Amino acid sequence: MAFVPMSVPVPDEAPVSLWRDAWSRLLRNRLAVAGLVMVLVLVFAAAFGPMLTPYDFLSQNLEARNLAPSLSHWFGTDDLGRDVFSRVLYGTRTALIVAVVVTAIAVAIGVALGAVAGFFGGLVDRTIMWFTDMTMSVPNLLLVVVINASLKTPLSQWMEARYLVTLNPFYRETIWVDFLLVFGSMALISWPPYARLVRAQVLTIRSRPYVTAARALGLTNRIILIRYVVPNALGPLIVAVSAGLGSAMVLESAFSFLGVGVNPPTPSWGNMISDGLRVWQHYPHLLAAPAAVLGLATVAFSFLGDGLNDALNPRGSK
Amino acid sequence: MSERLLDVTDLSIEIETRSGPATIVAGIDLHVDKGETLGIVGESGCGKSLTMLSLLRLLPNKIRVAGGRAEFQGRDLLKLSRRELRQVRGGRIGFVFQDPMTSLNPVMKIGAQLSEPLIYHRDMSRADAWKRSGELLRLVGIPGAEERLHSYPHELSGGMRQRVMIAAGLACEPELLIADEPTTALDVTIQAQIVDLVKELRKRLGMSVVWITHDLALIAGLADRICVLYAGTVVEDAPVDQLFATPGHPYTRGLLASIPRVSGSTMARLSSIGGTPPEPGRRPSGCAFAPRCPLAQEVCRQNAPALQPMQGSSNAHRVACHFAGRLMSEAA
Amino acid sequence: MLRYIAMRILLWIPSVLLVMLGVYALAFYGAGDPIKLIFLRAPGDVAYDPVRVEAIRESAGLTKPFLEQFANYLLNLLQGNFGNSLNSGRSVWAMISAAAPVSFKLGLCAIVVTALIAVPLGLVAGLNQNTKLDYTILGSALFLWAIPPYVAGPLLMVGLLLILPGIHVPYGWGGVFDARIILPLVVLSFQPIALIVRQTRAAVIEVLSEDFVRTARAKGVPELFVALKHVLRPVLTPVVTQLGLIMITIINGAIFVELVFGLPGLGRLTVQALINSDYPVILAITLIGSLLVMLSNLLVDVLYPLLDPRAATSMKGR
Amino acid sequence: MGAQPLIRVEKLQKHFPIRLGAFGERAVTVHALDDATFDIAEGETLSLVGESGCGKSTTGFAILNLHRPTAGRVVYQGRDIATLDEKAMRPIRRDLQIVFQDPYSTLNPRMTVGDAVGEPILFHGLCKRSELPHRIERLLADVGLPPRFAQRYPHELSGGQRQRVAIARALACQPKFIVCDEAISALDVSIQAQIINLLLDLQEKYGLTYLFIAHDLAVVRHISTRVGVMYLGRLAELGTRDQLFGEPLHPYTKALMSAVPEADPVAERNRHRQILEGDVPSPLNPPPGCRFHTRCPIAMAECRTIVPEWRDRGEGHFVACHAVPA
């Protein structure tokens, strides 16, 4: 009796890429969806929020100072009579812009250094990793504060001088100095974890049989890096970025709190919290509103990060 | 007739999936007699390990027993209280797992790991248990046993580690030793050492052994009786000689035919079974083997065949195939 | 092992030098004129006399080129001379040695409290994965993580005042066994506890799926001992690592906590020094902070193989 | 076989430097492969067998220059390819392919089957882009997969199907020589038979030469022309299939053969096994002399000190053992 190989029975379904698979896994995770929705709301609020509120976040109304929350002022008003809800909404924009830009810079630096270190190894690797460890060893709040404190004045003076020479109104906007310093110094302390992660990823992926197989096919290093290493290292990076966005928001508010972040009158959750703390006992809403929103944002990103982690690295599936 | 030690009837196991529970083991019947060695043979994913793990409720997360009974010495293992279950685990039933590298705790000394069953089942003091552990290591043929007690697992070779696993399984002189592919992770020469060791220990201690494997050749010289599993059901259950001489199920025949033979002509194509086993949750209705079976008829796709004694053979040889008789006569 | 430790410590030297150089450069080029600042800040009757300023500057060695000043600073450092505070004129070493014990004691207590609370909680959550208990613990951890310490501190303080009227405001330092340490400690431990709970839980879940846990159960080991002997031991190794890394979180958090609770530690010293652009103090604190982080990293790396017998003979590198 | 061999391996050696100890303080060398000398004839299947860590996979990797050999030569088409750098090696890689053991990690999870198979074709410019889908379809048909599999991702396939894709990808370059590195070890028995048949079919169709690395002697016996037995980084014996299985000369080969169980209960019961004592020594510190002497039942004094010569004992039957007469 002969056993003839038969055609292989395969169910006819549309092919599912790992990305789409992960996406559907993410949507089944309730906490992750909650996080995703909250993040989307934050993004929406940052993009359109300030247009939707009847009050300007800057316009003061000394008649209506320190009002308790009401229908006309959802979160009440502050000591200059500014609408807190509008300010919190605008703070969302500040927080998100800072978080996105800082994370983007940090990821760019981290990915470049980590990939180079992991791919070339040897002395290059050791030098980059030494530099990474060194950066990590400086207490980061201290570093940011020092950078801000020492560079803010000279930078503003330089801008002022440029203005006097060029009369370009661009140089009058001190907000650029703020953002430049905040972005720069925060990115400086945020990149090392990304570099370490990417390096570790590159090291593991490099030793996978499919990369050896690609080498055996004669493919060039460039193709291997682009088509084999990068797409497979992306998953953990996405998880790290999601978590990183959350911590960048917290960091921004911490710096604003210490007075080295975004300066008033630009609303930021950090400086609102800092202001609110001074009058907490009398006007609790001034503290509660920004603190609660910051907490929500952090929780949202951490839910999303956890969900992404589960979706992109499903345990037990091969 | 020999005395029953373990009697598993209609055992089903399910796995939780996104689209609801999926059956992995679909109504398995098997038994082990006192002093007997039963070989359980099947390909990966056929449920052979899960069946045995379920007896001691060691199933991984999301996998659970959906029904059936498993009587061991007259008591249903699946209904034991936690306390009773603990007494059976390692006390009356010993377990040896596949990968000795991961199955021993890497941060505990060998002696401490061997002592555990003695401490918890025999109420031995730590010192007595340690001493007895040394004797156990000698029993499984580890040279320098007393010093070895102080070693960590990673300091031993794969073969030595598997001997330690066996010693732990035997520590309380259980009535039944379940060995789950204990030699798969080992080299051939080491595999031969372990097989010999178990054969000898079985003779000396008079226990029953269930040996789970995917290797028909390995089990040929080891088992008294063999159960062949396919996609979560027993397709054939026969004394070892009968199974190899007159296999009753087309799957068993296919498996035997796909093993390369000494006498086979050079470069000849092997007989092979086409296709792949069904995934859990995608079991075909009727006989699970029907889609790959060269003999399959309409009836096979409709009705799942029951495990029945082969015509013209002893009651001990049972096959789950609508055409078991026809196969036999063809072979004759 | 000693060779390894020596090598690591040797690598600290270039790291520390680079960090110091960076901060020194910031001070040199960015801080403006410290001497002028002193005069401006001085009480009204001290006249601002340019000649005197020049003289002081000369005597302080502030007119020399940058690298020479830096080299001088390092030479002084090597002799144990951290210089004098620009603000108070006191020896920086004296200021640090007064403040450091407060911070160190507080930090150590925070680590101990974290380990004692977080590890058992994480273990319980992991052992009861996906139950209500697990969700409660994990949810609380997420919540703690979302509250920045500078919000948690005042809130707790004020909240306690409201609940227990007549209680003394916990302000100031009285040593480790003083009741006033409780609140700062709690606030400082919030985020580390959240981190360690999540880490422990994840590690427990991973270990639970290991084959050797199944072996232990198959041997009839009671569940309690499975948890204590087989699960906890391997979990401790990564958790100890994380405890080392948490040093950075604690150092950062201490700045806020000391500020809010009026503790005379390094954190408050930092903030004061930053406000006054008191660079000798900032430099000294940066040095100590970096060394502390490097030391804790080294401790972790040395401890790891001692905790995990496998590492002692495992292969490293390729 | 008298003609020019396809590949000639001469005194091939591969040592890996590694660092041991918790802090990497001990630098040692793994003697993965030493002094391997043999020919691979065109169209044959040469199998290398031995236990884990014996250096059989290292040999395959070193021949393909995927691990740069520490010493020795690999002559292919009159050139020593062991010393070529990656760039010079690239055009030669087309001819020399490899199929790996683990079907689950041998394919890039982010690439479809069609992309994986089509990539080397495009890279080496073996066909026009417009013909590519047709080419892929033919390659998939060669390995027994329907064309619609080109759209699938590896995680949607079973182990056997993945191994078929891996073979199709190796075939895409139209190679002359394929290293099968434990290519069927991870598969189930019934699937193993399918893949073995496939390999034999493809060999017949395209005149392929295989270096078949495996530990399963029954499979090796089935598909090999010649067989080499390795122990702890050295070749112990090499000869035709019938020489090796019919009249093994080396004591290790004999022990290895006797350890392999046979699917026949009666024969198994009556069979006398020669079971080797102890374990394979560490390749970090291999024993001097004959590396097998620590476990050899017939070891003599000279075995402990003198490395036995690798010599032809007639009809291309090579053995390295002091106890075998010349």
pLDDT at A7: 37
- How many B×D Cβ pairs under 8 Å? 120
Residue B94 bridge partners (DSSP): B177
Nearest to D19 among C3, C304, C316 (CB): C316
Does C306 touch chain B if contact means CB atoms closer than 8 Å?
Answer: no
Within A228-283, residue ranges assigned H as helices are 230-258, 269-278
Pair C63, C123 in one domain: no
Average confidence (pLDDT) over C249-268? 83
Q: Which residue has the higher pLDDT, C248 or D251?
A: D251
Interface mutation vs chain C, best among B103, B110, B150, most C CBs within 10 Å: B103
* Mean predicted lDDT score pLDDT of chain B: 88
Q: Does residue A103 lie within any of the structural domains?
A: yes
User: Among A121-135, A172-186, B257-271, D10-24, which is the least confidently predicted range?
Assistant: B257-271
Q: Does residue C157 lie within any of the structural domains?
A: yes
End-to-end Cα separation, chain D, in angstroms: 23
Interface of A with C in 142-171 (CB under 8 A): 142-143, 145-147, 149-151, 153-154
Q: Does residue C83 lie within any of the structural domains?
A: no
Pair C244, C310 in one domain: yes
Q: Is the pLDDT of residue A240 over 70?
A: yes
The alpha carbon of residue A1 is apart from the nearest alpha carbon of chain B, in Å, by 9
CA distance A187 to B95: 54
Pair C104, C8 in one domain: no
Amino acid letter at D290? C
Delineate the domains of chain D, giving CATH numbers in brackets. Answer: 7-83+216-319 (3.40.50.300)
Contact yes or no for B271 and A3 at CB 8 A:
yes
Amino acid letter at D2? G
Pair C108, C242 in one domain: yes
**How far lies D270's CA from each of B183, B264, D266, in Å?**
22, 22, 6
Count: domains in chain C: 2
Does B249 touch chain A if contact means CB atoms closer than 8 Å?
Answer: no
Count: domains in chain B: 1
Q: Does residue C87 lie within any of the structural domains?
A: no
Q: Which residues of A touch D144 (CB under 8 A)?
A: 5, 8
Q: Which residues of C touch D19 (CB under 8 A)?
A: 315-317
Q: Does residue C205 lie within any of the structural domains?
A: yes
Q: Does residue B56 lie within any of the structural domains?
A: no
CA distance D300 to C188: 72
The radius of gyration of chain C's CA atoms, rounded to the nearest angstrom, is: 25
Q: Which of A178-182, B69-73, D104-108 has the highest mean pLDDT?
A: B69-73
List the structure tokens of B172. 């309380």
Pair C312, C211 in one domain: yes
Q: Is the pLDDT of residue C11 over 90?
A: no
Pair C69, C199 in one domain: no
Q: Does residue A5 lie within any of the structural domains?
A: no
Q: Does residue C88 lie within any of the structural domains?
A: no
Within chain A, residue ranges assigned H as helices are 18-28, 30-52, 84-120, 122-137, 140-166, 174-206, 209-216, 221-223, 230-258, 269-278, 284-312
pLDDT at B266: 58
Nearest to C145 among A287, A296, A298 (CB): A298
pLDDT at B325: 66
Q: Which is nearest to D244 in space by CA: D39, D235, D179, D180?
A: D235
Does C224 touch chain B if contact means CB atoms closer than 8 Å?
Answer: no
The secondary structure of C271-311 as a DSSP string is HHHHHTT-HHHHHHHHHHHHHHHHHHHHHHHHHHHHH-GGG
Coil/strand/helix, residue D245: helix
pLDDT > 70: percent of chain C: 86
Predicted confidence (pLDDT) per residue in D58-96, tens digit: 999 999 999 899 999 999 998 999 999 888 999 999 999
Pair C114, C74 in one domain: no
- Give me the domain span that covers residue B284: 246-332
pLDDT at C294: 87
- Give me the domain span that covers residue C16: 2-78
Q: Does residue C287 lie within any of the structural domains?
A: yes
List the structure tokens of A66. 């320190």
End-to-end Cα separation, chain C, in angstroms: 20
Count: domains in chain A: 1
User: Among C24-38, C199-213, D202-216, which is the least confidently predicted range?
Assistant: C24-38
Q: Is the pLDDT of residue A73 over 80?
A: no
- Give me the domain span that covers residue A103: 37-48+83-313
Predicted confidence (pLDDT) per residue in B225-253, tens digit: 999 999 999 999 999 999 999 898 999 99
Nearest to C310 among B53, B106, B171 (CB): B106
pLDDT at C39: 63
Contact yes or no for B272 and A3 at CB 8 A:
yes
pLDDT at C167: 59
D246-251 long-range contacts (CB < 8 A, ≥24 apart) are D249/D313, D249/D317, D249/D319, D249/D321, D249/D324, D250/D292, D250/D319, D250/D320, D250/D321, D250/D324, D251/D292, D251/D296, D251/D297, D251/D298, D251/D321, D251/D323
β-strands D26-40, D177-181 pairing: unpaired
Q: Does residue A155 lie within any of the structural domains?
A: yes
Q: Is the pLDDT of residue B191 over 80?
A: yes
**pTM, whole model, 2 decimals?**
0.84
Predicted confidence (pLDDT) per residue in B259-293, tens digit: 887 655 556 788 788 888 887 777 888 899 998 88
Q: Does residue B307 lie within any of the structural domains?
A: yes
Q: Which residue has the higher pLDDT, A10 or A182?
A: A182
End-to-end Cα separation, chain A, in angstroms: 36
Average confidence (pLDDT) over D302-325? 91
Pair C199, C162 in one domain: yes
Predicted confidence (pLDDT) per residue in D139-184, tens digit: 999 999 999 899 988 888 888 899 999 999 999 999 999 999 999 8
Does B331 touch chain C if contact means CB atoms closer than 8 Å?
Answer: no
Contact yes or no for D263 and B259 at CB 8 A:
yes
- How many C×D Cβ pairs under 8 Å? 34
List the structure tokens of D251. 């004591």
Pair C112, C140 in one domain: yes
List the structure tokens of B40. 């359980």
| pLDDT band for position B128 (cuts 50, 70, 90) | very high
> Is-contact B331 B250, C-beta < 8 A?
no
Pair C127, C238 in one domain: yes
CA distance A85 to A52: 11
The domain that holds A181 is classified in CATH as 1.10.3720.10
Q: Which residue has the higher pLDDT, C70 or D98?
A: D98
> Is-contact B291 B278, C-beta < 8 A?
yes
Q: Does residue B255 lie within any of the structural domains?
A: yes
Chain B: residue whose CA lies nearest to C233: B107
Does B18 touch chain A if contact means CB atoms closer than 8 Å?
Answer: yes
pLDDT at D237: 95
List, in sequence order, every beta strand (DSSP E) within chain C. Answer: 315-316
Q: Which residue has the higher pLDDT, D1 or C13?
A: C13
HSE value, Cβ hemisphere, 13 Å, CA-based, for D291: 23
Q: Is the pLDDT of residue C137 over 80?
A: yes
Contacts of B299 (CB under 8 A, 6+ apart): B286, B322
The domain that holds C163 is classified in CATH as 1.10.3720.10
The subunits that touch chain A, with at least 3 C-beta pairs less than 8 Å apart, are B, C, D
The alpha carbon of residue C9 is apart from the nearest alpha carbon of chain D, in Å, by 14
Average confidence (pLDDT) over D221-239? 94
Q: Which residues of D touch A19 (CB under 8 A)?
A: 110
Q: Which is nearest to A236 in space by CA: A49, A142, A107, A147?
A: A107
Pair C112, C244 in one domain: yes
Q: Does residue B92 lie within any of the structural domains?
A: no
pLDDT at D171: 94
Number of CB atoms found within 10 A of residue C57's CB: 15
Pair C131, C34 in one domain: no
The alpha carbon of residue C237 is apart from the nearest alpha carbon of chain D, in Å, by 14
> Is-contact D165 D128, C-beta < 8 A?
no
Question: Is B2 exposed, middle or buried, given 0-12, 13-18 or 19+ CB atoms closer than 10 A?
Answer: exposed
| pLDDT band for position C47 (cuts 50, 70, 90) | low
Does A294 touch chain C if contact means CB atoms closer than 8 Å?
Answer: yes
Contacts of D168 (CB under 8 A, 6+ apart): D117, D139, D140, D142, D143, D145
Does B226 touch chain D if contact means CB atoms closer than 8 Å?
Answer: no
Q: Does residue B312 lie within any of the structural domains?
A: yes
Q: Is the pLDDT of residue B44 over 80?
A: yes
Contact yes or no for B221 and D269 at CB 8 A:
yes
Q: Which residue has the higher pLDDT, A60 or D121?
A: D121
